[in-house]
Each structure stands twice: as C-alpha cells, then as structure tokens.
Structure 1
Amino acid sequence: MCKIILAINPGSTSTKWAVYRGKEVLFNETIEHEDEALLKYKSVYAQMPFRLKTLLYALHDKGFALEKVDAIVGRGGLLKPMPSGTYLICEKMVKDAASGKHGEHASNLGSIIAYELATMYNLPSFIVDPVAVDELVNEARVTGLKDIERKSHAHALNIKAVSRKVAASLDKPLEELNFIVAHLGGGISVVAHQKGKMIDVNNADNEGPFSPERCGGLPAKQLVQLCFSGKYNEKQLLKKITTEGGIYSYLGTKNMIEVEERAASLDREAALLLKAMIHQIGKEIGAMATVLEGKVDGIILTGGICHSETIVSKIKSKIGFLGEVFVVPGEEELGALVEGALRVLSGQEEVKKY
C-alpha cells in the first residue's frame, strides 16, 4: 500500500505544502503570507505558530485529515554541516533551527513545523538534503584569509534531485557520474557533483554569479570600503547584497521575464545585465569543470530561470564544449522531499541521524 506523505516547504513569504500518495500528488498548494502579517514577528522562529495555524486551516479546507498521513517531511534549513541524505527530525535539530545559530532563514521552519505536527499525531518526520549539506573537499574550504573559511550552502535539495533524475535517464548510478549542476533561480548555485557528492560549490548568498536578487562575488576592497562608508549599517548591507542585489539593484525588478522583454525592446542596461549574468554563469560552470579535472559526464541546468529558452540557449553556447547539457527547468522541491522520505520508508535508503 502506498504511503501518504505530507511535505512542507516554508519560504520567505509563503508556505508551500503538498500531500502525496506514493509519488501521486493529491494536493499541492501555496499559502501566500502578506508582508504585514510576517513583519510583526521579531524572528523567523516567532512565525511558527502563525504558519502552523495557516497550514492546519489549509488542510481543513481541503477536507484532509492528518490521521491519514504515514509521515511528514519538511524543508531542511540552515543547520550544522552534514552529508546529504534523509534525516530523522529530533529535538536537537529543532533546537538548532529555532535558535538560528547556523543562520536564520524561513526554511528553518520546515523541520520545526514537521516535528510539531508529527509529535501531535505520533508520526515519523524527516528532512531531506538541507541547505547545509556539506561534502566539500578540504581544499575547497580555503579562502586565502585565515579568519574566514568557505561554507557549503547551496540549493542542495533540487541539485540532488535533478542529479538523480538525469543519472536515471542515463541508466547509471549517480555514484558513477560526474556532473556540473547549475541551479538558476533567485540565487544561483553551481556545484561540482563528483560521484554523488557536492565536492565544491559557490555559496549562493555571497559567491559566484550575481542573480536576480543577489550580488554574488564582489570585489573585496570595494566591499570593505562600502562597509565603512557610513551609508549602511550591517543589517542594511546584508539585506542589500542578499535580497536587493544583482539585477534588482540595477533595474528595480527580480522578474526575469520582464528583464528579457526590456532587453528585447532595446533597453541597453537590461541587455547588458542579461549578458553579464550569462557570462558569469558560464565562467562559474567552466571553473567547476577544472575541479572535476575535465571528467564531466554532463552539465545540468535547473531552476526557474531555465524556463527561458533564450537564456538557456546562450548559456549552452558558452559551455556546450564541456559536455552534454541537460535542462531540467524549475524546482520540484516538494516532490524531492517526498521522494527522500519514500526512499527511507521503503528501505531503499537508511535514515540518518542529526
């Protein structure tokens, strides 16, 4: 009998949720939260009761009883560094997510809400391939400044899911393949995926290509000068480089469809920014090819930006010589969460402990 799984994926202004019977989608919904409703909370963790209540209302509106569920799986947020896999949610994980000790992000609420519901209904609860997945080789951690070590923060959930999908299409185990995976969305992660492990990544919050809303890597001296210019305090500047940077800082929009339309209408700045972003994406993919010593079985382009045939085509023209390019548009994170839970519940994969 197919297992029924509830999947929960909290975002900055929404809570996505779905119910699956095996791999069949029964419900797939997004609860949009008004800015005013969230701004009154002093921290991400303080939003938990509100988000939990809205989720319970949404389930009730669909006439779905949680007594029918076999397991709950939540998006894993900023936790301690860990290998990829499906993890059983425990009190220690929930405590770390709630405290924000490894970073504060809405995805931290995924494990907290899943655990709260699972406790209420005596169910197992899991996270899958969280943002904090760390499989870096040691040389990838070195920055060149002893005070700072590189951290592995990437769109691991989608990157792992599409890597498995492409490996299956090639009829080969993921552990035998080397991929370069570029997740192109609001943030951009480019990963060297060697035989099932993400051995090098660009941290999408502060490295690599700029994106619709993030600055990517910036010239160090000029950034330091900006920090001490008196124009911004720490909180303002962190917001500027992570949610108000990239294309948004130039054009005032994060909508890539609008950017493409403006570029096609001979808006020179929009055209230049589009070209520059593609330039940086291609350069980062090329860098990851050297990490894999040129042994590349394929390059996977994924994420929301990959719905654009124009952008994908231009990226392909830059990096096609490195190997076959596979395009998996969008991000099916809820489905990836469910698949991780099913692998454990079916015995295909051993559950990991935090």
Structure 2
Amino acid sequence: MGLHILVINSGSSSIKFSLIEVNTQKTIISGLAEKLGLEKAILHTKYNGETQTIDLEKNNHETAMQAILKTLGEKGLGKEITAVGHRVVHGGEYFSSSTIITPEVLKAIEKCVPYAPLHNPANLIGITGALQAVPELPQVAVFDTAFHQSLPQHAYLYAVPMEWYKEHGVRRYGFHGISYRFVMQEAAKSLQIPLENSAFVCAHLGNGASITAILNGKSVDTSMGFTPLEGLVMGTRSGDLDPALIGYLSDVLKKDAHEIVDMLNKKSGLLGLSGLSNDMRELEAASAKGDEHAKMAIEIFVFRLAKYIAAMSVSLPRVDALIFTGGIGENSASLRKKVLERLAVLGYFVDEAANNETTRGKSGLISNQQSKKAIVINTNEELMIAMDTAALVKS
C-alpha cells in the first residue's frame, strides 16, 4: 500500500484538507471547513466526484478537525492515513526545510506568532487538533518561509538600524515558498532543464501575489517581506508604498498604526482601487463593460508586476524562463498578455493562440519563437506538502 498523507491547511476561519496517495499523486478526498468562529460553520467534502455539505455543531477549529477525521473514518479512509502534513506560514529563521513536529518545533512556531499574527495561531490550532485526534501518527510542518532562507544578506536585510534585525528579527522572510518549490521542479521538467543549473523568475499570482528569483533551485530574491504586505499589488493588499504614509494617515484619519496596516492588508489592492472587488475575474468582466475603475486597477496590477519581473531579472545571471502560476497566473490569459507586452523591452513576446489555450488546468509555453521563454505552470501546494511529509516519514 502506498503512503497516504493527510494535508491540513488551517487558516484563521477555515481548514482545508486533502488525503493524497503519494505514489500516484492522486487526491482521494478533499474538503473545506469554513466560517469557523462565525455564527454557522460548515464542512464541505469532495469524494468520488460527489460533494457533501454538513453543518458543524460548534464553530471552532477543534470541532472542525474532529468532523474531518470522523468523515474520513465513515468513508473507510481513516486507517489509511500514514502521516499528517501541516502548512505553516511562518518559520522565521528557525526552519530552512520541512520538519517532523516535536514539542521544540511547536515552541519555535509559537515564537514566530508576532511575525504572522493572523496565520501562525491558526496553523498551531490545526496542529494541536490533529495531535490530539491522531497522536499515534507522525506529523510534519511544511513552512511557506523556509524556501527563502537561502536569500543572500543583500536581499533579505532592510536598510534600517542593524539592531532591529539582531534584536527583533526585522528582515525579509518571503512567502509562497511551498508553491515556488513545486512550480520550479515542474518548470525544469517541462523545459528539460536541470534544476541545479536553472534560472527562473516566477510570479505566484492569486489573491495574495508575490514574485521570486530562483537560481539553481534556490530562492535568491523575493517581493514579499517581513510580512506578506510588501511587494506586488494584490487582491486586498496594497503592496509597496511609502512607509511615511502610515504616520500621515494615522494623523489625518485619527486611527492608530495598527488600524492603518489593517486597512492596507484588507481594504486596499484591487479592492481599494476598483471599489468593486478583489477578484480579477470580476474586474476583467467589469472592465470589458467599460468600468474605468476596474480597468485602472488591472493596469496598476500589470504595471507593478512587469516592473518587479524586470527587477527580479537583475538577481540572476540569466533568465531561462518567466513562470506564471497561482489562480490569476494560471487562468487570466488577458493579464499575461498585457504583462508580456510591457516586457517587450526585455525580449518577451506572447504567442496569442498558445496563451489563450493555456487556462483551466493547462500548463505550457505562452511565448512565441522569437521570445525569451514564458510558461504557465499549475501549482499544487497540497501535493508538495504531501511529498515533503512522505519523504520525512520514510527517512
């Protein structure tokens, strides 16, 4: 029997799960417990092509974890679980790779809570819930930040007093590392390039968006920083701006710095610019109907992304391929075309037919024969977590 890994991604108000058979890379069952902490929590599961939804008796993470494991048991899948793999957003400087969870590992994840106050507490709830429910199974933490621990000092240090870094951990950490690791491996296979001799600029574009320069399988520069707020324009996050704005807005809006940062995280980006939505699909539809705010939001997103692609290229000796991934990167052909048109100065030119065909789960080249290579790769963070967990359990 192959290894069956239960992958848990516990968020502040949800738990995503999937049971993956590692040898075949197939997802046997998946689901989402959502609206946790709100009035009415529910659990959706997808198994054998059928979707089922149940109400949860209580709206907390512990109840959701119990319901997930009960569902697996009812379908005869509980005893098949070999190990549990957990997505953890922030591992600080403690972790440069995935690791078996021990009491010491839990303490280190807790120490990173101030760096990711929305994410790490939720990740810890998912871990402790699983440890209580299936204490006999090995459990593994897979970190979003670990991939970026290879950043050189000139890429991760900010130009601020050094004691801020030494005493308070102020530095660039980077995120989306699980996705980048999966995508770079798939891109190297697709392009028949050895990963250990490769140079990629990779844009992970979803509601959260970032971009990373990857040399020989290692992160050498990335756009997200101390928190995921830095870098590109995102669904609800502003990305880069003048930090002096926080003091100015605090004065004129009569709000404290934390409230301003909260608005920059939750009410800015595409949502703030358009006044309509943080969803690129809705904005593209509105733009096509003549909505000027939606059109402007898309153009600003594209402009910032193209600038960052050019900047990331400087971190590499060459660029073997520009990679698009994530929900927007994989599915918005019109946005990819706009980005490549802005990058003509760097030698990128779109193949319109190939670009239009590469959506809804398809990967492939979208650049023409005269162009430097641009490719779409579908990410699979759950499979990457499962593969890491399986490798640690085997060893």
TM-score range relative to shorter protein: 0.7 to 0.9
Partner letter of residue 211 of structure 1?
M
- Give how far 1:6 is off: 0.7
| Structure 2: gaps of 5 or more residues | 42-58, 349-371
| Matching residue of 1:300 | 323
Cα distance between partner residues in 1 of 2:198 and 2:286 = 39
The corresponding residue for 2:31 is 29
Displacement of 1:289 in angstroms is 0.2
Answer yes or no: is 1:113 the counterpart of 2:120. Answer: no
Q: Following superposition of structure 1 onto structure 2, how do residues 2-151 of structure 1 map, counting pairs within 5 Å?
A: 2-22=2-22, 23-34=25-36, 36-37=38-39, 48-65=61-78, 67-82=79-94, 84-98=96-110, 100-106=113-119, 108-110=121-123, 113-114=126-127, 116-118=129-131, 120-133=134-147, 134-146=149-161, 147=164, 149-151=170-172
Deviations 1:57-81 (A, max 9, x none): 443454432x321111010222222
Q: Partners of 1:324 and 1:142 in 2: how far apart?
A: 31
> Aligned match of 1:216 in 239, 264, 268?
239
Task: Give the SS at the match of 2:377.
Answer: strand
So what's the TM-score if we normalise by structure 2? 0.78
RMSD over equivalenced CA pairs, Å: 2.6
Return the offset for 1:215.
Answer: 0.4
Give the Cα–Cα distance (whole angstroms) in 2 for the partners of residues 142 and 121 of structure 1. Answer: 40
Equivalent residue, structure 2, for 1:43:
none
Contact 2:138 2:393 in 1 (8 A): no
| C-alpha contact 1:89 1:127 (8 A) present in aligned 2 | yes
Deviations 1:223-259 (A, max 9, x none): 3311333432233222111122101113241121111
Counterpart CA distance in 1 for 2:156 and 2:139 is: 32
Query: Are 1:89 and 1:111, in contact at CA under 8 Å, matched by a contact in 2?
Result: no
Q: 1:29 to 1:74 in 2, by over 3 A?
A: same
Q: Does 1:243 align with 2:255?
A: no
1:115–1:70 distance in 2 versus 1, CA, 3 Å: farther
Greater displacement, 103-112 / 135-144: 103-112
2:300 match: secondary structure: helix
- Provide the C-alpha distance between the structure 2 equivalents of 1:344 and 1:95, rounded to a whole number of angstroms: 20
- Give the structure 1 partner of residue 357 of structure 2: none
Separation (CA, whole Å) in 1 of partners of 2:391 and 2:193: 18
Residue 50 of structure 2 corresponds to none
Aligned partner of 1:325 in structure 2 is 374
Task: Tell me the CA shift for residue 277 of structure 1.
Answer: 0.6
Task: Provide the secondary structure at the position in 2 that maps to 1:36.
Answer: coil
One-letter identity of the residue aligned with 1:143: Y
Matched, 1:158 2:179: yes
> Which of 155, 176, 183 is residue 197 of structure 2 equivalent to?
176
Give the partner amino acid of 1:94. Answer: L
CA contact (8 A) 1:7 1:19 kept: yes
Paired with 1:144 and 1:333, the residues of 2 have a C-alpha distance of 33
Equivalent in the alignment of 1:352: none
User: In terms of mean alpha carbon deviation, does 338-347 or 158-167 score higher?
Assistant: 338-347
Range 318-327 or range 297-306, more displaced: 318-327
Change (3 A) 1:215 1:139: same
Higher relative contact order (CA 8 A, sep 6+): 1
Q: Secondary structure, in 3 states, of the residue corresponding to 1:291?
A: coil
Distance 1:91 1:38, change over 3 A: farther
Query: Which ranges in structure 1 are unaligned for 5 or more consecutive residues?
Result: 40-45, 348-354
In structure 2, what is the Cα distance between the partners aligned to 1:54 and 1:325?
43
Aligned equivalents of 2:284 and 2:141: distance in 1? 36
Q: Which residue pairs with 1:288 in the alignment?
A: 312
In the alignment of these two chains, the number of paired residues is 338
Go from structure 1 to structure 2 and tell me whether the alpha carbon gap of 1:284 and 1:82 turns closer, same or farther (over 3 Å shift): farther
- Residues in 2 aligned to 1:112 and 1:168: alpha-carbon distance in whole angstroms: 36
Residue 107 and residue 59 in structure 1: after superposition, are their counterparts in 2 closer, same or farther (change >3 A)? farther
TM-score (norm 1): 0.86
Q: Distance in 1 between matches of 2:81 and 2:380?
A: 21
